[in-house]
Structure 1
Amino acid sequence: MLQNLPDETEVLIFRGNDIPVLPPNIFGSEKNFTNLKIIDMSDNKIEEVKGKTFHHAPSVERLILNHNSISFTSSHPRVFSNFENLRELHLNDAFLDYKSADLAEQLHTIFMNSNLKRLEKLHLEQNEIENFADSKVFCDLQNLLDLYLSNNKLRKLSFDIKCLLQLRYLDLKNNDIKHFTNEELATFDSFIVRNQSFFLDISKNPFICDCMLNGLYFWLQKTKVTVKNNVTIRCHYMKNHINYSIYIKDYNKSECNSKLSIYVSESDNYAHFFTQILLFFISFFLFIFLTILSIRYLLEYCKHSVIPVTKVHYVVIRNSDDREIHV
């Protein structure tokens, strides 16, 4: 049916189907659809995309493949090579369950072979990405402006963004980042030098309220980077084995050097917890030991201090009411 699209078609929305394999020349091999600007093929259970699937759609600027199960081992590495004018690529929750390292390697291969020179926006949300073992994964996207990586499992900035000379927005919201190094914070600042503005979203990450947070705390005060939702960014700490959180803007930076600081890392809290248990058992056994010694001492004292009692022999016990009988 897609091979019979009207020539005037500008937007194609083809969602909610069951198409494990997208065959070559899905739009036919006879003509180019020069008016087609947007393709949305989300929620189609797509697993494999052939190399020439999207031939004859050279004018497409936005491709949306969200919520599929694409396998790169089955799909062709030049799967996006026919989109000469592609500006936006949406791949939210788009892949088969991959290990992060494998996904990074496959993405780099595809970006390198697909010649996406005009790509400006890349969406990779909700793909359970923990890290990018291939730090150069995005470096072939030289005109990339906006990179969306929210709702993954990233623990740090494990990919190179210095190579993205035009980058203006980085979305790291709702990942698993606990700290930023000073070098990473300096990298964010470097984009202000290159561009007039740079936007960053790091909200909803589980930052730890410890001394390492000082770098982020001071950076937020002085940076010229536009940090979205900066007043809602929180850090977490443990107190009495209960997890608390506060806004970073309210973080008392001086307390990180205090021995009485309540802002401690998770590892410190575990150590504190086990120390408390150990002290409890030591105190308990010491109490038992002292109690036993006290009892023994008391018994010995009583043994040597009691006065002997004189024995009295009674022949008969007379009842006071009995009358005296005279014989």
Structure 2
Amino acid sequence: MRKRGVKTMKKWILDRSKIIHDTAGREVRILEDASAFLVAAHFDCSVRAVYEASLNAGICPYRYLRNRETISVPEQYHLVKSRVVVVGSGGLGGPALLLLARMGIGYLVVVDPDRFDETNLNRQALSSGPDLGQPKCEVAARVLENVNPGVDLLVHPVRIDDTNAEDILAGSDVIVDALDNVPDRFRVQAAARSLKIPLVHGAVAGFEGQLMTIFPEDRGFSLLYGTRDGKRNRKESPEAVLGVPAVTPSLVATLQAMEVIKILLGRGKPFRNSMVHVDMETGEMNRFSFEGN
């Protein structure tokens, strides 16, 4: 959009914004969704672009009001310009996508070749009876559009492999590994390393889960799994043997989403060169460091 158009849009936004008092009694200028939709329609642009212009002008989209103070308006502006790829939209990917959409990530890319079936209903946040048999990517796009129309979505209903990984992942700020097998994880890590993009790994089995954030220069999965091919086939994987109750991927996906926010905003300390292990049955969370490896 040309500079003049941006200025005109900001005036439209300002004219349609209003001042309210938040729950703590503080005065804040906000833009409601109904007004954002009008601006987007007038300027023939995405709602995400309207949110970006609004935040750039210091006006908080009303839907992000309860993020304020924890996440500042400039930080929310950064999130709305960020691009995150989630590889897998099942047990881990589904809740991660929902959380990232609600946090205000502006661009989400979903990669998943599968369709929903009945065995997904126990744990996968995007699954429901009416959507059985439907491509997970298509369902994810529809659900996320309803959750936050201010997210620009791109879907790839394909399995990620050595021939397409870099094309799919290129241009992203962070990649989320929500896969269920070791070889594909190594493929994603190789592409992320080549593209110099941080990768947030999560895995679950039974009431246990693990998390690790991998930067391009880190050893990453070799510390967890040894080799790319691993020593087990899918039937012998912990997930296959122990199953996956809903509570486990929900927690690990939440930790993954928080890692994404930490990386994008430069806040806190990501779980880098270490693995976080969670045992939900005992209530224990432990961090194992690989520093020096």
> By the TM > 0.5 criterion, same fold?
no
Of Structure 1 and Structure 2, the greater helix share is in 2
Q: TM-score, normalised by structure 1?
A: 0.28
Of Structure 1 and Structure 2, the greater strand share is in 2
